[in-house]
Amino acid sequence: MTRPIALYVHWPFCRSKCAYCAFNSVVRVLSRTQESAWVQAFLSSFDWHIQHILEGHTASYRPISLFFGGGTPSLLQPESLQQLISHMCALWSCQAESLEITLEANPETLTEERLQAFSQAGVNRLSLGIQALHPQDLAMLGRRHSLEQALQAVAWARNHIPNYNLDFIYHRPRQSLRAWRQELQHILALDAPHLSLYELTWEPGTPFALHQKELPATAAFFNLTHRVMQEAGYTAYEISNFCTPAHFCRHNLAYWRYQEYLGIGPGAHSRVEREGQRWALAAFAHGSAWRTSVARGTGGLATQSLLSPREQLIEHLCMGLRLEEGLCWDQLEHSAGPTEVAMLRHSPYLQKLQTLGVLLVTQQGARVSQENRAKVDGVLRYLDL
Ligand code: SF4
């Protein structure tokens, strides 16, 4: 039987750094020659991982998705994306149409022609980073695009890659609940099949962290967002992700369901099973260290470590409890083993959360109740694993 696997490519380059960003990205504009050399390194790293991590057993796996994230992968030439997609499909003898192929994109990097070319290269899902519908907030966030460019990109996406997501950030500095409620109505008017609505996180070391004291933590923004989205008919299938029917992101669901995934590129992570054991892999985060490792024939891989049953239990819970569907005991047992799962199910902390109605526990699995979904992180801390 084949096992599903999600594939990720991390393109680490951006034109500038957004004020809130803690992703592994660097500001650099590549020439065509430099881009081509990077693409070759990605192809080599893919081959290396197939040989040394999956041990050539591509036939044991069924790729479900290919996700180009970053950084700003929409800076790539469509021909480069085509090369990467074709190579991956050739390795797995699969058709691009059978996969969910997502490209993260910033509006200012798109033209209608480029979007069409991305679609022809095999991209069938677009994730547009818009973040705000107010010009002054776009400037404050350090975004390079105007509101007009963002709205134009949405119109092109609708025509050429209709399976698209829009990313927004809420609870921004000086944003009131009332202002966010109004902005949400404008977002809903865009009629996107999928929306990622993230509460701003104050990443240490970013210019934004300086504002943190201005905004007390509150569940009000989270609860308002969920209420409005539910009324509009979107499913909150994950705490920050909302979709209309049949528009789940298959790639991200693989992470949240704790399935296997293989990440290629600087700073990319992977989780793969070998001989019944689960391994955590991390690539060199720095671009030059990653390129050196690829050139030396070690694939860009910095570390690989075997995960203990307890580590798998924690990772699986952290992912699965974010989902509306929650987690399934059988799948948790598959990763963490029966002993850890039995201990969890008999834990007084879990039973207390169940009594309080925070966790809904059945014979099949467990999930956080709708009214407590803002508290997922607190639930995990309370379980004291
Ligand atoms: S475009 Fe994305 S990855 Fe690049 S700096 Fe902005 S938030 Fe970070």
Spell out the domains of the chain, with CATH numbers in brackets. 3-254 (3.20.20.70), 310-383 (1.10.10)
Measured in Å, residue 28 CA sits from the centre of ligand 1 at: 12
Question: Greatest CA span in the chain, whole angstroms?
Answer: 62
The three-point CA angle 160-162-200 to 5° equals 115
Q: Is the beta carbon of 265 within 6 A of some atom in ligand 1?
A: no
CB of 109 closer than 8 Å to CB of 30: no
Which DSSP string do the residues of 278-337 spell out, in sequence order? EEEEEE-SSHHHHHHHHHTTSTTEEEEEEPPHHHHHHHHHHHHTTBTT-EEHHHHHHHH-
Q: Number of helices (H) and strands (E), helices first, in the chain?
A: 14, 17
pLDDT in tens, the chain (385 residues): 899 999 999 999 999 999 999 999 999 999 999 999 999 999 999 999 999 999 888 899 999 999 999 999 999 999 999 999 999 999 999 999 999 999 999 999 999 999 999 999 999 999 999 999 999 999 999 999 999 999 999 999 999 999 999 999 999 988 999 999 999 999 999 999 999 999 988 777 777 776 665 556 678 999 999 999 999 999 999 999 999 989 999 999 999 999 999 999 999 999 999 888 999 999 999 999 999 999 999 999 999 999 999 999 999 999 999 999 999 999 999 999 999 999 999 999 999 999 999 999 999 999 999 999 998 988 999 988 8
350-355 LR contacts (CB < 8 Å, sep 24+): 350/383, 352/382, 353/379, 353/382, 353/383
CA 13–ligand 1 middle distance (angstroms) = 9
For ligand 1, whether the C-beta of 19 sits within 6 Å is: no
Closest residue CA from atom 5 of ligand 1: 17
| Residues paired with 364 in a beta bridge | none
Atom of ligand 1 nearest to the CA of 21: 8
- pLDDT for 206: 79
pLDDT digits (tens, 9 = 90+) for 156-197: 999 999 999 999 999 998 899 999 999 999 999 999 999 999
What spacing in Å lies between the alpha carbon of 142 and ligand 1's midpoint? Answer: 9
Strand, coil or helix: 367: strand
165 Cβ inside 6 Å of ligand 1? no
CB within 8 Å of 55: residues ≥ 6 apart: 274
Mutate to test the pocket of ligand 1, among 11, 13, 15, 17 (most ligand atoms within 8 A of CB): 17
